[in-house]
């Protein structure tokens, strides 16, 4: 589901009803995205609200923004990461890495295969980098295009293709490796 095209024009014209629609559409999406990086609910809520306030504050410039969805996802990510970094400065002895981690806990394996095989896929997922997980999330869950994913992560489209291809290959490689002679798909989808 995508938001209607003329909605941005209406927000630009200070149409509050249109803004409310945008708000209701993006709030849960940003929140859901943000929760992948931290379990700190107030922080995610703050970042979500700040991003959405920005849409209203910047409504005059909206027509100049070619891809508003991408623009605001990027903006949300920037605000969220900024808040996470700020927060980390005040935690003594924190050894978490510089970039916020896209948590492995948020993957769900939806295949109908046996639990043992699902565990295998889960293990394979844990070998992915945070960035690979995020690319999979934005592409397959949010349904964004490679170009949009690239813009959000501030990398080239080509690099995005590479990250994704490596992630998928890794999932295959891990599973085939750990089982020996079955192919990935026999393992994932027996019968």
Partner 1 sequence: MSNSSIYKNFEEEDFINDPWFQEWVIHPDGEKDNYWRGFLLGNPEKKVAVENAVKMIQSLGFKEEWPTTDKIESSLLQLLKTINEPGKGTGKTGRLADIKRTYRVWWAAAAIFIVLAAGGFIIWNQRESARIAHLEKEEQVIKDIAAGSDRAILTLADGRTIALDSGIKGVITTQGNVKVINLEGQLAYNSISNKEAVAGNVFYNRITTPRGGQYRLVLADGTRVWLNSASTIRFPTRFDGHERKIELTGEGYFEVAKNASMPFRVAFAGSGEVEVLGTHFNINAYEDEPSLKVTLLEGSVRVHSAGDRKDLRPEEQAVISGASAPISVQKGIDVDQVISWKDDLFDFNNDPLPAVMRQLSRWYDADINYQGIIPEGHYTGSIRRQASLSEVLRMLELAGGVHFSIEEKRIVVEKKQR
Distance between CA atoms of residues 16 and 59, nearest Å: 11
Q: Is 164 in the site for partner 1 (CB under 8 A)?
A: yes
Give me the least distance between CB of 175 and partner 1, in Å please. Answer: 10
The site that binds partner 1 (CB under 8 A) totals a number of residues, namely 51
Structure tokens at 113: 């295969």
Which residue, 80 or 164, is less far from partner 1 as judged by CB? 164
- Binding to partner 1 in span 71-90, by CB under 8 A: none
What CA–CA distance (Å, rounded) separates 191 from 186? Answer: 8
Query: With binding defined as CB under 8 A, does residue 130 bind partner 1?
Result: no
Q: Of the two residues 131 and 172, which places its CB atom closer to partner 1 in the complex?
A: 172
- Burial class of 142 by CB neighbour count within 10 A (0 to 12, 13 to 18, 19+): middle
Does 158 engage in binding with partner 1 (CB under 8 A)? no
With CA atoms as reference, report the closest residue to 54 among 34, 32, 73, 35: 73
| Of positions 6, 67, 88, 140, contacts partner 1 by CB under 8 A | 140
């Amino acid at each position: 589901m995508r938001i209607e095209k003329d909605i941005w024009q209406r927000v630009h014209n200070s149409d509050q009803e249109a803004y409310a629609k945008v708000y209701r559409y993006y709030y849960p999406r940003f929140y859901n995205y943000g929760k992948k990086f931290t379990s700190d609910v107030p922080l995610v809520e703050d970042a979500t609200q700040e991003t959405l306030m920005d849409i209203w504050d910047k409504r005059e410039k909206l027509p100049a923004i070619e891809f508003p969805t991408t623009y605001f996802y990027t903006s949300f990510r920037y605000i969220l990461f900024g808040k996470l970094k700020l927060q980390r400065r005040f935690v003594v002895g924190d050894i978490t890495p510089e970039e916020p981690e896209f948590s492995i806990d948020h993957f769900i394996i939806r295949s109908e295969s046996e639990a043992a095989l699902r565990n295998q896929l889960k293990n394979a997922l844990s070998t992915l980098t945070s960035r690979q997980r995020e690319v999979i999330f934005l592409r397959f869950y949010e349904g964004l295009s490679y170009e949009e994913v690239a813009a959000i992560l501030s990398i080239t489209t080509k690099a995005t293709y590479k990250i994704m291809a490596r992630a998928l290959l890794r999932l295959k490689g891990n599973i085939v490796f750990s089982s020996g002679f079955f192919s990935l798909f026999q393992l994932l989808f027996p019968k």
